[in-house]
Amino acid sequence: MNACTADRIATALFWLAAIVLIALLGGLLGYILYHGGRHISWHFLTSPPETIHAGGGIGPQLFNSFYLLVLSMAVTVPIGLLAAVYLAEYARPGPLTEAIRFSIETLSSLPSIVVGLFGLLAFVVLTGWGYSLMAGALALTVINLPLIVRISEEAVRNVPTDLREGSLALGASQWQTVWRVVVPCAFPGILTGVIIAAGRVFGEAAALLYTAGMSSPRLHFGLWNPAHPSSPLNPFRPAETLAVHIWKVNAEGLIPDLRQVGDGAAAVLILVVLAFNLGARWLGRRFHRRLTAA
């Protein structure tokens, strides 16, 4: 077999693998959207479960998912970015650096159900919060922190050395170089890690069963006092997210329109994740152009 034939075979195999991957993804999305899209309506998206037939409506669950995303990212992103910058720019080989990397590898290998049990003990029982959004956000932080650190560190390391040296040569300190040159250049890679972590927040269910809970109090969306038990902004209330709702409806649901509610909720979850990814990528490119004057 000559080199040209081998090259053509390899290229054909690569194209075949790409086509199979796209077909699998397209088939999965098509199946979910075909069966669930028919049940999506404005009333379905904004109403509580008990208002449509016997169990439809995902308004509170959808709000809980977005609120949990905000709480989790508010904790995960700053810690993950600072840790990534330290490992990429400041850390020297030694016991402390090895301990940090070992901790990151260990956390990244933990099953989400184990993190949920840890969250039940640490964030639900020991803190006295009970099942709450904050407990769920901290449990998701444990899951997503290794991912954010590893992707952000790689993005920071990939910034060309010439940019660092040019900034230092102009009189900037290392701190100024990192936050005004390196981090803006690494922003698209950092954003990729944030997007992946956000997708895991939307789709995670196992860890939230033991931390955020499987039910929500009746919420009054006109009440914005975060300390009130019925306020949607209260971070210390139980909260059923959309992914948990899908699992609960299909595993324990007794409502007559069980299939319609499950299919509609799954389709909404897929559409939200797709919209969030596309919007975040567009926003990331815009910020990157503005920060780097490209």
Q: pLDDT digits over 221-252, tens only?
A: 778 888 888 888 899 999 889 888 888 887 76
User: Same domain for 54 and 162?
Assistant: yes
Q: Give the residue from 176, 160, 153, 162 showing the smallest Cα distance to 88.
A: 153
Give residues with Cβ within 8 angstroms of 144, minimum separation 6: 72, 76, 80, 197, 200, 201
Full residue range of the structural domain in which residue 214 is found: 42-292
Give residues with Cβ within 8 angstroms of 270, minimum separation 6: 29, 32, 33, 36
pLDDT for 278 equals: 79
User: Same domain for 101 and 206?
Assistant: yes
User: Same domain for 1 and 97?
Assistant: no
User: Same domain for 24 and 83?
Assistant: no
pLDDT band with cut points at 50, 70 and 90 for residue 21: very high
Backbone angles phi, psi at 130, to 5 degrees: 70, -170
User: Same domain for 48 and 3?
Assistant: no
Count of domains in the chain?
A: 2
**For residues 258 and 235, is the Cβ–Cβ distance under 8 A?**
no
pTM of the predicted protein model? 0.84
Helices 59-85, 258-292: crossing angle, 10 deg rounding: 40
Determine what percent of the chain is predicted with pLDDT higher than 70: 93
| CATH code, 152 | 1.10.3720.10
